[in-house]
Structure 1
C-alpha cells in the first residue's frame, strides 16, 4: 500500500467513526492527490456510493434499482409537482454572506435539542414504507444515522418496529404520528411509543384531505407486477404489515390521517401523554402562534415534501414567519427540498434549530442500502462544513439572519 492509499484509508476510517462524528470538525487542507490519481470511467448512473459527487447522483441509481411504482411513490409530488420543485428552487433565493480572515480550522456542528446532543443539525425526516425501497428498510437508515450522529424520526407506517429502530440508532428515535380517526387506535399507538421509550411524538397535520399524486399514477402504468400481492386494499390490509399496528384493533378506522382533527385534538393529545409533542406541517405564523398556545413542545415547518397540497409555498419561504411568531418559545425544525449543505446553512440562518431530509437518504437506501444512506449523509455534512468554513461561522450559534441575504417572499 502506497502513502496515498494509506492516507485515503485513514480518512475513510475517521469519517465513519461515531467518535469522530461527535467531535468538532477539524479542517484538513485540500489535497491535490485527486488530480493526480488514476480515475475510472463512470457512466450516467453510479455503480457504488463512493462514485457520487453529490446527493443528486443517487436519484437515477434509485430509479434504476426500484420497480416503477415504488420509484413513483418516492418521486411524486401532487398535481404538477410544482410545490415539490418550489421547496428546492426557493433555496436559490437566499444568498450567503461570507466573512474573511476567520480561523476556521476547527468548527463545531453539534446540535442540541431537548437535552440531547447530535453531531449535526441534519436530521432524517419520517418516510413511510421504506421496505418498498430496500429490504433492510428503516433498520439500515437507523444504522447509518447512528454512524453519523444524526437524529431520526420514524413513520407510523414504517416497516420496522420502533424498538428495533431505536436500538440500531443507539438512542430513542421520535415517532411521527398518523392518528387515524379512531381515538382508541390513537391511544394504542401512543402506548406503544411510550413502551419503546420514545421521547417525542410528531403529529402530522398536513394530510387533512385527499391528494392527486399524478407522477405516481403515471409511473405505476409502467409497472407490470401484480400489486395486489402486497396491497390487498382497505385500511386493515394496508396496515397489517406495519409493526405499529400489530395487535391493534383497526376495525373502526376509516382514515389513517384523522381528517377531522382540530386544535381540540391537539389539546387532547397533549393531555394524554408525557412525551413531547411536535406538530409537523405548520406553514403559517398564525398556526404557529396557536400551536404555542396549545402547549406543544416544537414545530416542524413542512409541506410533506411537496406531496400534501399544491400550495406553491415552499417551506424555506414559510420558515422566517413561523420562527418570528414562535419567538424562541419552542424549537422550530424544517424539512422539504434540502439537497445541499448550503441549504442546511440557509435554513439555520433563517431560524431553524434542525434541518430535515427525506428523499435524498431514500435515494441512497434504494440504490445501495445502508452504505448509500451513509454516503448521502456524509456528502451533506461535508458540504455543510465546507460552507461554514468559507462563510466564517465556526459554530451553529454563529449562523444567524445576518449570515444571509434573503430574497424570499412568504
Structure 2
C-alpha cells in the first residue's frame, strides 16, 4: 500500500493480481470501446482556470447527499459481484465507505446480502436496480432493501439489455463457483451461469430484463416504496426534463462506463446541458472515467452535485480489500482537496463554471 500513490498505481497492481478474464470483464466496454476511451479523453481536454490570492487555509469538502452528511462529494458507483476480486466482496467495500464517510451504491447483483452490507457500514447505502420482467421479484427486493436500511434506490435506465462486450465474448466470461447474486431469486440468475453461447451476463440480461418499460412505468416503482428513486443513465436534456417531470429524486449522468451504447456521448460532455435543464430541481450526479481529483473538480465546476467512482474502487478492493478501497477513496479525496486549494476554491460553494474550460 505504501507504493500506491495514485489511482493508476492501484489499477496496475489489480491487473497483476486478477485472472485475465476477470480483468477484461471489469475493464471492458461495448463494441470498439470508443466510449470507454471518450470518457477519459473528455476529462483530459478540459483545463482549470485557477484564481490566486485567496485564503485557502481551511478547505472544506463536506456536503449532504439526499439529506445525509458526507465527507466529500463522492460516492461509490454500483458495480456487480465484488467477490470476483476479493473474498469479502461488498462487505469490505462497505467498511471502507464507512471509514471514509461516503455513500455506497450497491449493485442489484451484489455478491453479498444487503443485510451483511448495511451491517458493515454507518455510511448511507443506496441500491441500484435493473427492471426485471418479474415485477414481483423486483418489488420483493425493494421491500428487503427498505428493511435492511437502504436509503435510496437508483434505477439504471440505459440497459434494456446488456450490450455486446467483445472481451467477454472472446473470453466466454462466466461467474466462477461461489460468486452469485446474493439478493436476487436464484431461479432468475440461472442463465448468468449457464448461458449457452457467448457471454453469460449478456444472455442473462436478455432473459430477465424488461425491455418494454417506459416513463409511465416509473409510477409503479415509486408507488412500491417510500425511498427516493434516482435514475442512472441519463445523457440528454430532454430525458432529464422527463425524469424531473416524473418525480425522480435525482439524476446520474452516465453512459454505464462505456459498457452500453458504444459511441454514446462522454458523460462529462453531457453534464452541463443537463444541469442547466434541471435547474436545481433535483441533485445531478455523474460517473465515467474519473481517475483523478482534478476530474472531480471539473465535474463539480460543470454543475455536478457529486461524482460516482466505479472501476478504481474494484482495483483497490483487488489489491488490499477494505484497506485498498480506503486507499483509493482517500487518495481521490486528498487530490480533490489539493486541486480545490490550488484553484483558489477551498469550499464547494466556491466552485463554479468559471473554473473550467
Give the TM-score taking structure 1 as reference length. Answer: 0.80
In the alignment, which of 327, 337, 345 is matched to residue 375 of structure 1? Answer: 327
Consecutive unaligned residues of structure 2, counting only runs of 5 or more, are 191-203
1:209-263, CA deviations, whole angstroms, 9 ceiling, x for partnerless residues?
A: 3412113334x27x9xxx58639xxxxxx9xx32212588789x96343222110
Aligned match of 2:197 = none
* Match 1:127 to one of 58, 62, 79: 79
The 8 Å contact of residues 54 and 379 in structure 1, kept in 2 or not, is answered as yes
- Work out the CA distance in 2 between the residues paired with 1:371 and 1:114: 27
Residues 194-205 of structure 1: pairs in structure 2 closer than 5 A: 194-205=146-157
User: RMSD of the alignment, in Å?
Assistant: 2.1
2:196 is matched with: none
Looking at structure 2, the residues matched to 229 and 401 of structure 1 have their Cα atoms a distance apart, in angstroms, of 46
Match of 1:242, SS state, is coil
What are the residue-to-residue correspondences of 1:293-332 with 2, within 5 Å?
293-332=245-284
Q: How does 1:187-266 map onto structure 2 within 5 Å? A: 187-218=139-170, 220=171, 230=177, 241-246=180-185, 255-266=207-218
TM-fit CA distance, 1:293: 0.5
**Residue of structure 2 aligned with 1:66, choices 18, 26, 35:** 18
Cα displacement string for residues 104-125 of structure 1 (whole angstroms, at most 9, x for unaligned residues) = 1111000211221100111100
| 2:148 maps to 1:148 | no
> Runs in 1 of length 4+ with deviation above 6 angstroms?
247-251
Contact 1:76–1:215 under 8 Å retained in 2: yes
Classify the secondary structure of the residue corresponding to 1:160: coil
Q: Distance in 2 between matches of 1:124 and 1:146?
A: 11
Closer, same or farther: CA 74–289 of 1 in aligned 2, 3 Å: same
Q: In structure 2, how many angstroms separate the alpha carbons of the residues matched to 1:257 and 1:323?
A: 29
In the TM superposition, residue 138 of structure 1 has moved relative to its aligned partner by 0.8
Aligned twin of 1:185: 137
Name which one, 1 or 2, has greater alpha-carbon Rg: 1
Q: Residues 123 and 50 (structure 1 numbering): CA distance in 2 closer, same or farther, change over 3 Å?
A: same
User: What are the residue-to-residue correspondences of 1:323-362 with 2, within 5 Å?
Assistant: 323-362=275-314
Of the structure 1 ranges 285-294 and 193-202, higher mean CA displacement relative to structure 2 is found in 193-202
Q: What residue number does 2:40 align with?
A: 88
Give the aligned length.
344
CA contact (8 A) 1:90 1:317 kept: yes
TM-score normalised by L of structure 2: 0.91
Task: Tell me the distance in 1 between the aligned counterparts of 2:18 and 2:98.
Answer: 25
- Which residue number corresponds to residue 390 of structure 1? 342
Instruction: Classify 1:100/1:369 alpha carbon distance in 2 versus 1 (closer, same or farther; 3 Å).
Output: same
